[in-house]
Amino acid sequence: MVIFIKKLVNNYNSIYHLGYIFYGGSVVLMSIMIMMTCYLNLYKFDYTILHDSSEKINSINKENFYYDSSRVANYNLTDEIENQTEEINKKFTTVDLKIMFTKYAYTIESVRKNKLVPDISINKFPKDFTSIKSTNDKKSLFIKSLLPLIIKENNKILLTNNRIKKIHNSTSKYISKDNALWLKKQFKKYKVSSHNINDLLIKVDTIPVSIALAQAAIESGWGTSRFVIEGNALFGQWSWFKGSGIVPEDRDSKETYEIKSFESLGRSVAAYMKNLNTNNNYSEFRVVRGNYKENSNVINSIKLLKYLSSYAENSEYSNILERIIVKNNLQEFDEAKIYRLPYKVANLISN
């Protein structure tokens, strides 16, 4: 531009001045267009990334309440998002929990009668769960919240159990590489050093729903303990890794254990079942459970309780479990199954 101005001044009458004017104007115009294009593209890029990321963060980190459906392919997700906007933008409370359960006719009575539990999952209890005054309401919400989680985790275990049996009962002389690697992983996960299929099958088995509910009720105070509210710790499992959980207020100064915390209630259920299926303290529990299934395929959860006495320091622990199961008729849930809901889930945000 400087050269252009000088030449224009010194050669005002030159026949080239029009060329300089055209050249200078073109440079300025092109510069402006390039700057505007870059700005618009940058704005569009930033908006797209921020918009998409915001929605992904909301759907991943704030999924405190969700449903699962086997028929999502036939479902209009746009309609569901529009319908659930109000719920997504408000705090996740016990009122929201009650509304959702009522909306889809999920009641304790219907489960007792039909043995069917809707596929509704809650990642954590709302913070005002501890303020529920009615004992019946608290127990009802607690049971309905945990039933799908317990049953679905048992279903995962059953799938693993069935695959092990299928491999074991195969008439083929050879085992595929994929199956061999998968079995090796299961032996390690369930701590079966013998690499014996029968030893593995004894460990890869379900936990009676009534027992899981009763233990969760004791260890979490029906969902109101500090450990479950702060760390989704339903079953009071101990951990000796510093920073892996919550330090009990009444812990002896010489102790180093913590109550292990989890990302979700579902993770807590999974860790609890793995504990019962792998810990040496419950080896007799697993053997007796296996004998029941082998002989009748029906497990009497009450008769298994005495093999869980080492779960807590209280010598009356098994008796306490029995009283909770009997008083609340929890054995009626042992045969309950999950059924799929024909809709997509709402995501409720818990702040």
Per residue, the 3-state secondary structure of the chain, as one string, reads: CHHHHHHHHHCCCCCCHHHHHHHHHHHHHHHHHHHHHHHHHHHHHHHHHHHHHHHHHHHHHCCCEEECCCCHHHCCHHHHHHHCHHHHCCECCHHHHHHHHHHCCCCHHHHHHHCEEECEEECCCCHHHHHCCCHHHHHHHHHHHHHHHHHHHHHHHHHHHHHHHHHHCCCCCCCCHHHHHHHHHHHHHCCCCCCCHHHHHHHCCCCCHHHHHHHHHHHHCCCCCHHHHHHCCCCCCEECCCCCEECCCCCCCCCCCEEECCCCHHHHHHHHHHHHHHCHHHHHHHHHHHHHHHHCCCCCHHHHHHHHHHHCCCCCHHHHHHHHHHHCCHHHHCCCEEECCCCCCCCCECC
In a domain, 110, yes or no: yes
In this structure, the number of other CB atoms found within 10 A of the CB of residue 162 comes to 11
| Mean pLDDT score, 322-349 | 80
pLDDT of residue 24: 65
| Same domain (yes/no): 49, 77 | no
| Same domain (yes/no): 126, 176 | yes
Give the percent of the chain with pLDDT over 70: 70
| Same domain (yes/no): 236, 138 | yes
**Confidence class for position 37, pLDDT limits 50, 70, 90:** low
| Same domain (yes/no): 7, 135 | no
Q: Of 61, 81, 112, which residue constitutes the final position of a domain? A: 61
pLDDT value at 18 more than 90: no
pLDDT value at 171 more than 60: yes
Dump pLDDT digits (tens) for 41-68: 444 333 333 333 333 323 323 334 333 3
Dump pLDDT digits (tens) for 248-292: 767 777 777 788 889 999 999 999 999 999 999 999 999 999 998
Q: Which residue has the tokens 């010598």?
A: 315
pLDDT of residue 121: 86
| Same domain (yes/no): 35, 133 | no
| Same domain (yes/no): 105, 144 | yes
In a domain, 344, yes or no: no
pLDDT value at 74 more than 90: no
pLDDT of residue 35: 66
- Spatial CB neighbours of 94, under 8 Å, sequence gap ≥ 6: 126, 128, 129, 131, 132, 141
| Same domain (yes/no): 81, 30 | no
Q: Average model confidence (pLDDT) for the chain?
A: 78
pLDDT value at 89 more than 70: no
pLDDT value at 132 more than 80: yes
| Same domain (yes/no): 42, 77 | no
Range of the domain at 52: 2-61
In a domain, 348, yes or no: no
Number of domains in the chain: 2
| Same domain (yes/no): 49, 135 | no
| Same domain (yes/no): 137, 286 | yes
Torsion of the alpha carbons at 246, 148, 157 and 223, rounded to the nearest 10: 20
Out of 165-169, 244-248, 257-261, 321-325, least confident range: 244-248
pLDDT of residue 341: 67
pLDDT value at 343 more than 90: no
| Same domain (yes/no): 275, 311 | yes
| Same domain (yes/no): 76, 45 | no
pTM greater than 0.75 (yes/no): no
